[in-house]
């Protein structure tokens, strides 16, 4: 009798826990996202090192980013689509294992092709991690999806900001091989992910009732309207990540070229910008839950335009200040965009997460490659003058339906 009642009791307890917001799972996901994105951010953080040691041009630097982002972007929607039908509780740890191998390979890479292979392995790990972790955040949200996505995202953005700081402290002065020490962070992430997988395994059924409940609210939107809205959201992702790519991949080169600062100093400025992204991410989700995601998207994309347009003409001090405003404002969009898209297509949480994470990674990679070529053909300063206009695309937000208003009707 004990063997038959115990699993039922465990399932009942897990089901009751999942009805509310499960902060222990969300915090664990945020920590693993921090560790995952810290490792990823080491890639652009060591660009000045590998550019010098391997005698690369800006186009080759852009190709490194393109390889990493492409390996991540192509697989993410496929992973999300597959796991929507067949949830894989232990896939997070498997994905981080790919990142671990890629990180060790990057530390030992002494040729351009080997660098490309290494970053592609890290990209595969990211492709598995993001859609599955985003699904877990949705499951643990307890209805507060904007807050859950922001808490999940803020860990990743905090990790992205730590990468350049750690690179400035460890990798730049000591050398590329010391990337290998960050494999300890990958091992810690795998340990935490294995712990989260137990909760995931018990609660895979909890996402299904939410899908049905939300579906009844969204039947008012036609297929054409949903498709049109998704296209607008993807165009907004394009403008956001194309612009962000100019900063994450080339900001250190821009500062060194225009203001003649050192490599280590440029990493500190990159950290300040990336840390402002982490702050903005945490604001966007809860604000979307409160005032509506459409308004957050509108403010965060279009609202960054005045600051991006001023930055190419600013002094070093004001470049730093403007980068903080840009980071806080523009980063608040992604959580709102992702949850908005999940509400447009209920029941496709993993696929939507994979599509939008994948497209974001892809746009960042394509942006880095094209902007690298533009920098070689013109100058790194000209790149920032061109990219400054991209946030104006945020005006397309006006064409999105107001889902919150529809709910009230």
Q: pLDDT digit string (tens) for 271-326? A: 888 888 877 877 776 777 777 778 888 888 888 999 999 999 999 999 999 999 99
Q: What value does the CA radius of gyration of the chain take, rounded to a whole number of Å?
A: 21
Residue 12 pLDDT level (bands cut at 50, 70, 90) = low
The pLDDT value recorded for residue 409 is 41
Quote the CA–CA distance of 179 and 172 in Å, as a whole number.
10
Torsional class of 353: left (φ above 0), alpha (ψ -120 to 50), beta (otherwise): alpha
Per residue in 265-292, is it b (16+ CB within 10 Å) or e — as a string?
A: bbbbbbbbbbbbbbbbbbbbbbbbbeeb
3-state secondary structure of 69: helix
> Has residue 377 got a pLDDT over 80?
yes
The pLDDT value recorded for residue 5 is 45
The pLDDT value recorded for residue 17 is 46
Whether the CA torsion 70, 74, 77, 80 is positive or negative: it is negative
**pLDDT tens, position by position, 91-129:** 889 999 999 999 999 988 889 999 999 999 998 998 888
Residue by residue, DSSP assigns 285-307 as HHHHHHH-HHHHHHHHHHTTHHH
pTM of the model as a whole: 0.66
* Domains, the chain: 21-408 (1.20.1250.20)
Closest CA to 254 of 320, 196, 351: 320
By residue count, the chain amounts to 409
Closest CA to 25 of 132, 112, 97, 121: 132
Residue 404 pLDDT level (bands cut at 50, 70, 90) = low
């Amino acid at each position: 009798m004990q063997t038959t009642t115990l699993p039922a009791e465990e399932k009942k307890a897990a089901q009751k826990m999942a009805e509310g917001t499960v902060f222990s799972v969300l915090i664990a996901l945020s920590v693993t996202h921090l560790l995952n994105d810290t490792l990823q951010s080491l890639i652009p953080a060591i660009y000045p090192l590998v550019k010098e040691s391997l005698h690369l041009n800006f186009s080759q630097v852009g190709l490194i980013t393109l390889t990493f982002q492409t390996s991540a972007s192509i697989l993410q929607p496929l992973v999300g689509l597959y796991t929507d039908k067949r949830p894989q509780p232990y896939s997070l740890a498997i994905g981080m294992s790919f990142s671990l191998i890629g990180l060790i390979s990057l530390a030992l890479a002494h040729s351009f092709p080997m660098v490309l292979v290494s970053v592609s392995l890290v990209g595969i790990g990211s492709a598995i991690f993001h859609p599955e972790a985003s699904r877990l955040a949705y499951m643990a949200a307890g209805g507060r999806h904007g807050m859950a996505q922001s808490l999940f995202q803020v860990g990743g953005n905090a990790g992205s900001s730590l990468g350049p700081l750690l690179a400035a402290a460890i990798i730049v002065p000591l050398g590329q091989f010391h990337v290998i020490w960050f494999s300890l962070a990958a091992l810690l992430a795998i340990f935490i992910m294995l712990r989260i997988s137990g909760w995931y395994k018990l609660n895979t059924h909890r996402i299904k009732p939410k899908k049905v409940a939300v579906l009844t609210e969204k039947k008012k939107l036609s297929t054409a309207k949903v498709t049109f809205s998704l296209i607008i959201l993807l165009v907004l992702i394009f403008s956001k990540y194309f612009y962000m790519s100019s900063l994450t991949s080339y900001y250190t080169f821009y500062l060194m070229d225009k203001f003649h600062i050192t490599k280590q100093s440029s990493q500190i400025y990159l950290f300040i910008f990336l840390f402002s992204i982490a702050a903005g991410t945490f604001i966007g989700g809860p604000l979307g839950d409160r005032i509506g995601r459409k308004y957050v998207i509108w403010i965060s994309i279009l609202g960054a335009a005045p600051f991006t347009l001023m930055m190419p003409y600013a002094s070093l001090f004001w470049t730093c200040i403007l980068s903080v405003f840009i980071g806080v404002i523009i980063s608040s969009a992604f959580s709102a965009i992702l949850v908005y898209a999940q509400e447009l297509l209920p029941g496709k949480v993993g696929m939507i997460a994979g599509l939008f994470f994948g497209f974001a990674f892809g746009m960042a990679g394509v942006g880095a490659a094209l902007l690298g070529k533009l920098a070689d053909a013109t100058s790194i300063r000209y790149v920032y003058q061109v990219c400054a206009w991209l946030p104006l695309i945020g005006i397309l937000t006006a064409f999105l339906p107001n889902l919150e208003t529809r709910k009230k009707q």
